[in-house]
Chain A
Amino acid sequence: MGKRVGMEVAIAVAEAVGLCDIDMAAVYPITPQSHIAEHLSDLVANGEIDAEFVTVESEHSAMSAVIGASGAGARAFTATSSQGLMLMHELLPIASAMRLPICMAIANRAISGPLNILNDHTDIMPQRDSGWISMFVENGQEAIDMSIIAFKIAEHKDVMLPVNVNIDGFQLTHMVEPFEMPTQEEVNQFLPPFVPHATLHPAKPVTMGAFAMSDYFAEIMKAKDEALKNSKKVILEVWSEWAKLFGRSYKPVETYKSEDAEILMLTMGSMGETAQMAIDELRDKGIKAGLVKLRLWRPFPFEELKAAVKNAKKLIVTDRAISFGGPGGPVFSEIKSALYAENQRPLIYNYIYGLGGRDIPVPEFVGMFEKVLADKTGQLVDSYEFWGVRE
């Protein structure tokens, strides 16, 4: 059952992708993603994987090249961070509209300005509506698992959509962690060869990326929406298959001590493990606190989220990004709108924290809980707060 190894998460992600028989990768260097690109090119240079590694001149060209390769029928991979992802932005909805099963690792990092190289989620949030399947991981093991799982979901005939796996930059990518690395045989057993629907090959000429005006455009958009919504079924199937083979099961919404919790916190990504320690501390003090971790960002898991929070009195939604001049953090507004029609719903609070790599240790999480617990108004809160920010 795999082999126990200890290595840097970014390198492990490249190793995991290397187990997936990729045909082509195009990656442009950017901190903190670069270790993925470097290790992947090592694997190619040493003949450990049989793939074309295209050293593109920008992230825009990285995404363009993987679109081209995927269109040709190749299993294609890329990775990026921050400004690189922003540069790719234009092409992300095109990749999903063309139904190309590209997989991308994102080492999440703050976007400029000012320039910052450390972790938050401001890079992925502007990509929310690009039509990609988008998931977050909490630790190295999940990063490896999702990097492999992503291909199987993306290439499933009922999905055919690109997938991005969000791995917190530095806080996760640059950690050395112990984990179980699947063997090549295991991955071969799990991941079948990619059978593309249509390819750019003279044997059967097709036109990809045609020009569509008002008579067809809306239908194409609806089809994309349906495809993304329907992908959840396959995502759940693939996760359950993974659990059978590897013993690690994943859910769109993970919970920790939430069943009887009166106050819940919602996190995404690596902050979950720290928040979990805060929950233990609060439980020791007799406070019925629990945690909800959102793994699947798109398609949004409405049912699972509603079920996870319905019995709580208060819910603290944490955000590592902000919609300037808007309702607060992007996760906050999603959660609020998801619960709008529910008769039974908690009071929701929003803290924006951990921007640009700002560290949030356990006592800070405890502090958020204490502040919310102290609020006895029982009123809906319709605002957000930057946590731990100097005035």
Chain B
Amino acid sequence: MNIVENFDLFAPKLINKQELLSSGHRACSGCGEVLAVRLMCKALGENTVIAAATGCMEIISSMFPTTAWRVPWIHVAFENTAAVASGVEAGLKALRKKGKIDDRYIKVVGMAGDGGTMDIGFQALSGAMERGHDMIFVCFDNEAYMNTGIQRSSGTPMGASTTTAPAGKVSSGQKTWKKNMAEIMAAHGIPYVATACPSYPLDFIRKIEKAKSIKGPSYIHCFSMCPTGWRSPSNTAISVGRLAVETGVFPLFEVEHGLYRVSPDMPKKLRPVKDYFKSQGRFRHLKEDEIDTIQDRINLEYKKLLEKEKCLKTGNAQKITEVG
């Protein structure tokens, strides 16, 4: 018997019409990240409190005395977003329990860029996830410190040229593999981890909604196209995001209670990575052999993901329990 797993009905017309991140903010034209934040807000709805890290999304949205936020929003510093969010969550929980505020359920969301998540914000995030706060943390990963001028982070992919790991006569840009943040979060044993990309808005919204419905910590790693930092035309953000997914550079998957599920948007056969590199200036310097090395790594990582899905998917959970 075929069992339809995770059946959801989705159509663009069902998307929340409310704009909780208003227009008039100062993001670059063609910014993929701010689009993702807008979609996230639609999925979260108004009973949300957002704690944001220092970064692009903070400065473009909160220029005093204006604000683009129609949900309660707090920014404190760069590295502590998850800790701030955990404090908001603890505070609201206590106040609600003691009857000091009205009895509505409010989801607390922490958001940061790749630097604020994977580098300087790593410790605070790990702590908050481990403590089990009822919160979502969303990493808007544009693969470098874009707000300060395109410096490399641990989210920058191998071979990308940045202002602190530039391609030069004796260097091919970033010399390290991108940190696999979603897997690190899955290793925390939290109830829900997912990767997403605003080029797949329905998938992204569904994942935010699922995270919202889960009691406890969840983590969403959102691939956030940055035409400015990636040296690509500003009208290409969506197509570049699609190429990242179609080439397996950024596979879409989710890990729910330890069980893997690769998103149906993933193609049966991956496109070659050079298709993805083509439109971005940050990869322009890469030579054939360097692209081949990267291609091998993508193939390996994607195979590992598919194997994990095979071993650790909902249908196999029972068997695993029996083995254990």
Contacts and interface: CB of A to CB of B under 8 A. Distances in A.
Q: Do A and B bind each other?
A: yes
A216 B63 CA distance: 10
Interface in B107-155: 123-124, 126-128, 130-131
B184 interface: no
B74 A64 contact: no
Interface stretch (A206-214, A232-240, A337-345, A372-380): A206-214
Contact of A94 (B64, B76, B91): B76
Interface in B46-105: 46-49, 51, 58-59, 62-65, 67, 69-77, 79-80, 82-95, 97-98, 100-102, 104
Interface in B257-298: none
A210 B67 contact: yes
A64 to B, nearest CB: 4
Contact of A57 (B65, B101, B123): B123
Contacts of B62: 207, 209-211
B305 interface: no
Contact of B90 (A24, A91, A200, A208): A24
Contact of A73 (B64, B97, B100, B131): B100
B312 interface: no
A26 B72 contact: no
Interface residues of A, number: 46
Interface stretch (A48-56, A151-159, A310-318): A48-56
A67 B74 CA distance: 10
Contacts of A66: 87
Contact of A23 (B67, B69, B100): B100
Interface residues of B, number: 51
B87 A207 contact: no
A55 B131 contact: yes
Given A205-B69, A209-B76, A69 B87 contact: yes
A90 interface: yes
B98 A50 contact: yes
Given A65-B90, A72-B92, A201-B106, A60 B83 contact: yes
Contacts of B83: 56, 60-62, 64-65, 68
A199 B100 CA distance: 12
Contacts of B97: 50
Given A60-B80, A67-B76, A211-B58, A205 B71 contact: yes
Contacts of B48: 202
Contact of A208 (B65, B74, B100, B124): B74
B47 to A, nearest CB: 5
Contacts of A23: 91, 94-95, 98, 100
Q: Which of A55, A62, A71, A206 has the most CB of B within 10 A?
A: A71
B72 A68 contact: no
A68 B63 contact: no
Interface in A1-40: 23-24, 26
A201 B101 contact: yes
Nearest to A78: B87
Given A58-B123, A208-B75, A211-B62, A68 B87 contact: yes
A42 B47 CA distance: 33
Contacts of A115: none
A212 B67 CA distance: 11
Q: Which of B47, B77, B90 has the most CB of A within 10 A?
A: B90
Interface in B236-256: none
Contacts of B65: 210, 216
A307 interface: no
A200 B84 contact: no
A74 interface: yes
Given A58-B127, A60-B79, A212 B93 contact: no
Interface in A171-224: 193, 199-203, 205-213, 216
B72 A69 contact: no
Contacts of B76: 64, 67-68, 91, 94, 98, 209
A70 interface: yes
Given A73-B95, A202-B46, A91 B73 contact: no
Contact of B77 (A52, A64, A71): A64
B91 A216 contact: no
B72 A64 contact: no
Q: Which of A50, A72, A211, A216 has the most CB of B within 10 A?
A: A72
B124 A200 contact: no
B262 to A, nearest CB: 32
Given A68-B51, A91-B77, A200 B101 contact: no
Contacts of A61: 80, 82-83, 86, 123-124, 127-128
Contact of A76 (B59, B69, B91): B91
Interface string A274-287: 00000000000000
A98 B102 CA distance: 24
Given A201-B106, A202-B104, A26 B73 contact: no
A73 B99 CA distance: 13
Given A60-B80, A209-B74, A26 B102 contact: no
A72 B46 CA distance: 16
B63 A69 contact: no
A327 B46 CA distance: 55
Nearest to B97: A50
Contact of A70 (B70, B73, B91, B93): B91
A203 B100 CA distance: 13
Interface of B: 46-49, 51, 58-59, 62-65, 67, 69-77, 79-80, 82-95, 97-98, 100-102, 104, 106, 123-124, 126-128, 130-131
17 contacts: A24-B91, A54-B90, A56-B83, A56-B127, A68-B85, A69-B88, A72-B91, A73-B95, A76-B91, A91-B80, A94-B76, A202-B72, A205-B71, A206-B73, A207-B73, A209-B74, A211-B59
Pairs A-B, 8 closest by C-beta atoms: A68-B87, A69-B91, A57-B127, A65-B87, A74-B91, A72-B91, A61-B83, A64-B83
